[in-house]
Amino acid sequence: MNLPFAESYKIKMVEPIKKSTRNQRIQWIKDARYNLFKLNSDQVFIDLLTDSGTGAMSDRQWSELMLGDESYAGASSYFKMKNAIKSILGFDYFLPTHQGRAAENVLFSTLIKEGDVVPGNSHFDTTKGHIEFRKAHAIDCTIDEAFETTNLHPFKGNIDLNKLEQVLKSYPKEKIPCIVVTVTCNSSGGQPVSMQNLKDVKAMATRYGIPVVFDSARFAENAYFIKLREEAYKEKTIKEIVWDMFANADMMTMSSKKDAIVNMGGFIGFKNEETFKNATVFNIMFEGYITYGGMSGRDMNALAQGLYEGTEFDYLESRIKQIEYLGQQLIAAGVPIQMPVGGHAVFVDATKFLPHLPKEELVAQTLAIELYIEGGVRGVEIGTLLADRDPDTRENRYPTLELLRLAIPRRVYTNNHMDYVAAALINVYNRRNDIRKGYRITYEAPIMRHFTVELEKIY
Query: Hey, which residues are catalytic here?
Result: 72, 124-125, 215, 217, 258, 450
Among 25, 80, 82, 101, binds ligand F0G (CB under 6 A): 101
Which contiguous run of DSSP H or E holds residue 273?
A: helix 273-286
Query: Which residues does 151 contact at the CB level (< 8 Å), separation at least 6?
Result: 145, 339
With the CA atoms of 332, 334, 337 and 342 taken in that order, what torsion angle do they form, in degrees rounded to the nearest 10?
0
Return the range that interacts with ligand F0G (CB under 6 A); candidates 93-101, 133-141, 144-152, 390-398: 93-101
Nearer of residues 126 and 311 to ligand F0G, judged by Cβ? 126
Residue count (the chain): 459
Angstrom distances, CA of residue 186 to CA of 99, 122, 125, 403, 449: 16, 8, 10, 12, 18
Q: At its nearest, how many Å lie between ligand F0G and the CB of residue 47? A: 12
Contact 205, 180 (CB under 8 A): no
Instruction: Tell whether residue 124 is a contact of ligand F0G (CB under 6 A).
Output: yes
User: Which span sits near ligand F0G by CB under 6 A: 119-127, 153-161, 300-308, 437-445?
Assistant: 119-127
Near ligand F0G by CB under 6 A: residue from 35, 43, 58, 99: 99
Q: How far is the CB of 165 from ligand F0G (least distance, A)?
A: 24
126 binds ligand F0G (CB under 6 A): yes
Position closest to ligand F0G via CB: 100
Alpha-carbon distance of 330 to 9, in angstroms, equals 26
Whole-angstrom distance, CA of residue 45 vs CA of residue 306:
27
Site string for ligand F0G, 243-272 (x = CB under 6 A): ------------x-x--------x------
Whole-angstrom distance, CA of residue 51 vs CA of residue 415: 16
DSSP annotation of 317 reads: H
For residue 214, give the 3-state DSSP assignment.
Answer: strand
Of residues 47, 38, 45, the one with CA closest to residue 20: 45
Considering only CA atoms, which of 190, 314, 315 is closest in space to residue 261? 315
Residue 170: HSE in the Cβ half-sphere, 13 Å Cα cutoff: 11
Say whether 17 sits in a helix, a strand or coil.
coil
- Do 271 and 250 touch, CB atoms closer than 8 A? yes
| Binding residue count for ligand F0G, defined by CB under 6 A | 15
Q: Which is nearer to ligand F0G, 52 or 61 (CB)?
A: 52
Output 335 or 380, the one with its CB closest to ligand F0G: 380
Within 282-341, the residues that bind ligand F0G by CB under 6 A are none
Q: Single out the residue of 35, 182, 248, 301 in contact with ligand F0G (rule: CB under 6 A).
A: 182
Binding mask 202-241 for ligand F0G (x = CB under 6 A): -------------x-x------------------------
The least CB distance from residue 255 to ligand F0G, in Å, is 3
Task: Report, in Å, the least distance between residue 187 CB and ligand F0G.
Answer: 8
Which one, 140 or 215, has the nearer CB to ligand F0G?
Answer: 215
Positions that interact with ligand F0G (CB under 6 A): 50, 52, 99-101, 124, 126-127, 182, 186, 215, 217, 255, 257, 266
